[in-house]
Structure 1
């Protein structure tokens, strides 16, 4: 009976123990499995970019100039009528310089139809027709009229070729490195640029109020001229115009403003536009998109892609203050400074960045570069001493200037030490000091010798005076003793002083 009970107890105990061991062995396996999943899981900061039809694109934060998305943005491509952005920019700059005025009457020359064919977008301007400078700008940018660009070019520079040279010069000034203009309207296949270069040109253009007003106009009427009745035009930009030939209102986007469409078979469908929502200002460039004219589809992907980009940034990004002017960045040593001999570097201004909403800004790292190899006191408060490169999760977010918030005072004791050390480090100074010391030693020796001789002279003079008086007293006594009642005549007998000690030796 006891054996049976022991056998049953032993079997039960062993089964429970085996069960616990199995559970214990499964735990590390589950832990390893979880770690593997965590390693391959996407990071919170890894924001998926939208899929684009465009062959090249760039999306930029206009407030900071930081690129938020880039796709083949440095790849040169045909740009079609996006060329007109530079043409109108130069025209408006000439008005701002006072070379032309918006109300100026311009007469179309014989070159107004240069490079055009029957399919070219046109305002049907004829040679000899007179139109205001302002109306030509609206024709070029709103209706994308190629002939209006030719008229503007001749008016501004005297010829189309001279204007094209000016276009290329201005592009270089704006930092464009892969842009070539061959005409003022984009009809030539030799015109090419990149998405990023077009951002540089467009960012400059939209800073001019007249440019932004014109490119954001949905409809415009050109008054009658000497050769034509009034003309009514609609903007081809379907993001802002319900009467655009592209979609007839299908692509209206409430946050969009400007800028310019473009299309040729070589360039595909292109668009430069801007959009702003809740303080987030962005500019998008898309190039080489599909549409009805080149892909036989009923969509225009340049507008689709632009809307995708704007929704993506508005849905997933927000401005955040990652640094304030009170945040200490780094301490730097300062020569001759009072106190601990350092200065605290702080941002010159608050740093607000457009960041993905799920990005941990606490992962910010800074790399400081000082403008001077050695900082020396005194330093006035607010002096720009360097800059800090900002990086979050390995991505560069630009730089911020660094200043000292408080004055760095001069430690005068240290200053004097340094000046003395600098003086005595010069060989000629040491030589001069040695000469002065030698001359000073000679002078002191001469003074000592002079004083010794003078003391000797005075001592001998006193001695002679004592001898003379003693001799006088002796003679006086002798005269009294030898003459009886005779009085002393007062004449002193001659005294020979030749026996005195060497007087002048």
Structure 2
């Protein structure tokens, strides 16, 4: 009997448990929904706060990720900018960008790399200004283009005396010399009477000579230049640094101009007497310079001028310096350009590729 009672109780317990399980399962499934609906106000704020923290975390993560992505182009741009600046520091291509390192006292300045044709230094290169005795390079080219006999004897006449500026000369009226000697003295010592005599003894006289000078200028692309006479004493002989760079480049193709314009000094027999003449550009006597063409110039309207074709920092360059104040300013500017180019060249060579 006891055994039957135990069996009945066991079966009843099993049936009760099986009936209660679905109810508990249903309550368990409904509990979260019910909790969300019935939770007090503080409970809602807790849920929202948790969601807010989760969203903030996602936002922060997203922002951090975005900042990493955004940072990459910024770094790339900075690197590109830095890379772009390095060549400029090594070899400047514009005077104004490097004025702090290269202070020039000439009103107009231009340095052209003849290998590339690019301007290394520029300062008002298109300003039209009187060019004084720089004109004598054009005078020499016109004479040589005409293929006149350089050994023909010409004379200094009254017409060759400077009545415009009243400059002095070591060539008295009546002095005779070969055309070659006159060209040497015009280019080396900037003798105005010699240059004027070259123009006056040109076929067709001075008018034809001046016409040939301007025609040559146009042929060289010197469109902002004008010549009125062969010496440069007239302030109406005008040009720009860019135009003069073209003229110097052309003049360097004439062996006679290269030789005569860079002769440091010469002994010349004039009227039976030996006279010493010196180059007006002291740099041709310097061992530190390798100069192919040189010409100085001065009148009050033009200031001190200097043009050269030279080799600087192992590259051929044309240097034009116009309207410098002070006797040695143009030479000082030339030396500053040379030192700066050599320094920039050393930096470029030592910088790893």
In structure 2, do the counterparts of structure 1 residues 116 and 122 end up closer, same or farther at CA, with 3 Å as the change threshold?
farther
**Pair 1:182-2:193 in alignment:** no
Whether 1:314 aligns to 2:342 is yes
Q: Does structure 2 retain, via aligned residues, the 8 Å contact 1:240–1:257?
A: no
Q: Does 1:200 align with 2:228?
A: no
Relative to structure 1, the CA distance from residue 201 to residue 125 in structure 2 (aligned partners, 3 Å threshold; closer, same or farther) is: farther
CA distance in 1, matches of 2:333, 2:203: 37
Matched, 1:44 2:86: yes
- Cα drift, residue 168 of structure 1: 0.7
Question: Counterparts in 2 of 1:234-383, with a 5 A limit?
Answer: 234-241=278-285, 253-277=288-312, 279-292=314-327, 300-317=328-345
SS at match of 1:157: coil
CA spacing shift, 1:167–1:358, aligned 2, 3 Å = farther
Q: 1:106 aligns with which of 140, 154, 165?
A: 154
User: Over residues 23-68 of structure 1, what are the superposed CA-to-partner deviations in whole Å (9 max), with x where a residue is unaligned?
Assistant: xx9xx9xx99x96997996821222532211111111122333322
Q: Secondary structure at the match of 1:44?
A: helix
Residue 156, structure 1, aligned to residue 191, structure 2 = no
Match of 2:237 in 1: 191
Q: Residue in 2 aligned with 1:233?
A: 277
Name the counterpart of 2:171: 124
Question: Is 1:144 aligned with 2:190?
Answer: yes
Counterparts of 1:285 and 1:58, CA distance in 2? 5
Which residue is equivalent to 2:263?
Answer: 217
Q: How big is the alpha-carbon RMSD for the aligned residues of Structure 1 and Structure 2?
A: 3.1
Q: Which residue of structure 2 lines up, in the alignment, with residue 5 of structure 1?
A: none
- Is contact 2:313–2:338 with CA below 8 Å preserved after alignment? no
Structure (1/2) with the larger helix percentage: 2
- The corresponding residue for 2:128 is 76
Counterpart mapping for 1:28-39 below 5 A: none
- Residues 404-453 of structure 1: CA distance to partner in whole angstroms, max 9, x if unpaired? xxxxxxxxxxxxxxxxxxxxxxxxxxxxxxxxxxxxxxxxxxxxxxxxxx
Distance 1:181 1:214 in 2: 22
Which SS does the other structure have where 2:306 is aligned? strand
Greater Cα radius of gyration, structure 1 or 2: 1
User: What is the CA deviation profile of residues 203-250 of structure 1, one whole-angstrom value per residue up to 9, with x for unaligned ones?
Assistant: 11111111101011000122132xx622211101011137xxxxxxxx
Higher relative contact order (CA 8 A, sep 6+): 2
Query: Could you tell me how far 1:124 is from its partner in structure 2?
Result: 2.2
Secondary structure in structure 1 of the residue aligned to 2:224: coil
Instruction: Answer whether contact 1:112 1:125 (CA < 8 A) is retained.
Output: no
Corresponding residue SS for 1:273: strand
Q: TM-score, normalised by structure 2?
A: 0.69
1:58 paired with 2:110, answer: yes
Q: How far is the alpha carbon of 1:288 from its aligned partner? A: 1.1
Q: Quote the offset at 1:312 in angstroms.
A: 2.5
Cα deviation, 1:165-208, whole Å, max 9, x if unaligned, reads 11111100000011011111111111110011111111111111
Q: Call closer, same or farther: CA 1:358–1:73 in 2, change over 3 Å.
A: farther
Paired with 1:183 and 1:154, the residues of 2 have a C-alpha distance of 10
What secondary structure is seen at the aligned counterpart in 1 of 2:85?
Answer: coil
Distance 1:46 1:271, change over 3 A: same
| TM norm structure 1 | 0.49
Distance 1:314 1:196 in 2: 23
Query: Structure 1 residues 135 and 199 mapped into 2: Cα distance closer, same or farther (>3 Å)?
Result: same
The question of whether the paired residues in 1 share the 8 Å contact of 2:188 and 2:264 is answered with yes
Alpha-carbon distance between aligned partners in 1 of 2:232 and 2:238, rounded to the nearest angstrom: 9
Alignment partners' CA distance in 1, 2:78 and 2:313: 37
Give me the whole-angstrom Cα distance separating, in 1, the residues matched to 2:351 and 2:225: 35
List structure 1 segments (4+ residues) > 4 angstroms apart after TM superposition: 34-42, 355-361
Question: How many residues are paired up?
Answer: 272
